[in-house]
Amino acid sequence: MLLADVPFGSVPEGAEGLRAIGLFPPSSAGVARCAGTDSCTIGTTRVRGLAAWIERDLLSSGVAESSGGRAVSIGISGCANGCGHHLVADIGLQGVSRTVGGSSTGGGGRGAPHYMLCLGGGTREDGKVRFGTKVGRIPVRRVPEAVRRVMGLIRSGAVGGESPGETVSRLGNSPFQAALEGLLEPSPESFGEEDFTDLGPDGPVTFPPDRSGPKAP
């Protein structure tokens, strides 16, 4: 189904109307992502699996709308190159590898796929760009819950028609770090075997990815 010529400001209302009759369109929130390691051999994480999970389970419910009615943007990049524009999104996620376990001197341990969470990026009303600030690393399978908590805090904390980025800037990182307790940099003891695999389209996939193919341009 394609609905053409819907005014931008009416998209949230239109999406809600469709949900009321049993249709579930994608959220009006903008989810930008790169291809990830499905096709990029310099990336760190898969990206597509996570983006689909967020869109399906989090955004289609309408939770992406702030209390001021302005959609929350999400940018997901599979590495520091930032092709998913994570640094200029309200909620930015950058794929990283974290060594979990091992000795205090750095020996041993296993690489586990994580995402560095950045908050408050975007473009201001005056056209100036603001970059998101780093909050911490989250294991890939705990990212959807983290996004849900962040969105909830943005919605409850917004005042006076603020944009999500303005709300994040005013509140600062501390409330978000508190809301994400247990998800940021969790202890090795909380990891199961699945936490050392990435999200593929049909289930868990090996991590780190195979980088033996041709390099991305």
- Nearest Cα residue to 12 out of 24, 1, 28, 23: 28
Q: What is this structure's pTM?
A: 0.82
* 83/77 Cα distance (integer angstroms): 6
pLDDT tens for the chain, 217 residues long, are 788 888 866 766 777 777 677 665 555 556 889 999 988 888 999 999 999 888 877 766 656 655 555 678 899 999 999 999 999 999 999 999 999 987 666 677 999 999 999 999 988 777 789 999 999 999 999 999 999 999 989 989 988 888 888 899 999 999 999 999 999 999 999 999 999 999 988 889 999 987 776 655 5
The predicted structure's pLDDT at residue 163: 85
CATH architecture of 26-201: 2-Layer Sandwich (3.30)
* 79/45 Cα distance (integer angstroms): 7
Domain ranges of the chain: 26-201
Q: Helix H segments across the chain?
A: 11-20, 48-54, 143-157, 164-171, 173-179
The predicted structure's pLDDT at residue 71: 76
The predicted structure's pLDDT at residue 162: 85
The predicted structure's pLDDT at residue 4: 86
